[in-house]
Amino acid sequence: MAASAPSGNVIAKYLPVYFVLLAIAVLEVFIAYRTTSTVSLLVILLALAVCGGALAVMYFMHLAQERRSLFLTLIPALIFVLLMMNMIWTDSFRLLHFRPFAH
């Protein structure tokens, strides 16, 4: 029984991505233990987390091989979900204190 598609050298494809993700994680830990301001620490760590997350999604969830139309469909859906979550946060904090209506 023959394989349906040639897979090539999978290790040579995913191993560099793994090492880059590992380097990003080590860099995040190193930066977290340095004494910097809270705002700059937050910005740097969020940027590194977004880069690591994008790499993981693109290679380990195989979005790098998908068509561009799927990618352009997912981005507006993600933005819509994040905006809708932003609309709900105020209600969740209000209900946390058991105040159903603002007085």
The SS3 assignment for 2 reads coil
Contact 14, 59 (CB under 8 A): yes
Average pLDDT along the chain: 81
Domain ranges (residues) in the chain: 8-65, 66-103
For position 1, what pLDDT does the model report?
44
Decide if pLDDT at 47 tops 50. yes
Q: What is the DSSP letter of 7?
A: -
pLDDT at 44: 92
| Token pair recorded at residue 35 | 């004494």
Check residues 61 and 88 and name the one with the higher pLDDT.
61
